[in-house]
Amino acid sequence: MDNSLEHVSLPHVSHIDASRPFVWLAKGWQDLKYNPMASMAYGILFAAAGLVVLMFAGDNASLFAAALSGFMLLGPLLAVGLYELSRLHSNGMHGTFDESLGALSRNSSALVRFGGILAIFMVVWERLSAAILGSFGGHAPRITDMTYQGFLVSDQPNLLLSYLVVGGVLALVVFSISAISVPMMMDRQVSASQAMSTSLRAVITNPIPMLIWAGLIVAMIMVGYATYLLGLIVTLPLVGHASWHAYKDLTS
């Protein structure tokens, strides 16, 4: 670990009201309107990545789960530029797309370590997903089998339920350690472990608001996919900008 980071004091985690996630979205929307071109550029990149996920997975639920989890896990890192645009806006400055990319070089060693940790989670989920879904008669189910209607008519509902439970627990763990980690690493020059521990404390301190926030993130991603990825051009930059305000609201 970088010795220069060992003595960085961790921020105080604030208690927040359950309505704060909606305030973060409102502030994120203001950031998006303040830098529409740069923000939407990230949205286009996210939508293109989502298209790759769909093309790679087809109707195979196991491949789709692996590809989508990778996309979701890397999301906080890919949104570094959006955090930078929000930071600049809070200081009354506009930022271009190129300028926002400069944030990647800020505390890059911690970001790389954090990316490695997320990659480990991605591999673990891919292996678990393949093991559970591979139990469906020796072949992976289709995505349509994983819908609510497919669940009701499935001849192996317990297997489907176990898949959802395992995925949900893993997603909760990843969300807890990553909710505010990347903007904190970028803003405060802390280590990956320090950022993750602070993020975990923020979630434990504010379980209801953070569960609401997690639900809003999932809902906006689903809206993006339901609109043939076009919605991602707006919803994912909005989530990125709002995540910056979540970080600022939760720490002091």
For the stretch 201-242, pLDDT in tens is 999 999 999 999 999 998 998 888 788 889 999 999 999 999
pLDDT attached to residue 2: 47
The pLDDT tens digits for 146-193 are: 444 444 445 566 777 777 788 888 889 999 999 999 999 999 989 999
pLDDT attached to residue 49: 82
Query: Which residues contact residue 40 at a Cβ distance below 8 angstroms, ignoring those fewer than 6 apart?
Result: 32, 233, 234, 237
Report the Cα 5 to chain-centroid distance in Å: 25
Structural contact between residues 56 and 67, judged by C-beta atoms closer than 8 angstroms: yes
Q: Return the amino acid letter for 33.
A: K
pLDDT attached to residue 152: 43
Ramachandran assignment for 237, one of left (phi > 0), alpha (psi -120 to 50 degrees), beta (any other): alpha
This prediction has a pTM of 0.86
Query: Which of 1-5, 133-137, 231-235 is predicted least confidently?
Result: 1-5
Answer with the residue of higher pLDDT: 31 or 77: 31
193 bridge partner residues? none
Q: Return the amino acid letter for 121.
A: F
pLDDT attached to residue 142: 54
Report d(CA 28, CA 12) in Å as an integer.
Answer: 23
Report d(CA 98, CA 42) in Å as an integer.
Answer: 11
User: Percent of the chain, pLDDT > 70?
Assistant: 80
The pLDDT tens digits for 98-130 are: 999 989 888 999 999 999 998 888 888 878 877
Domain-by-domain residue ranges, the chain?
A: 23-250
Structural contact between residues 210 and 179, judged by C-beta atoms closer than 8 angstroms: yes
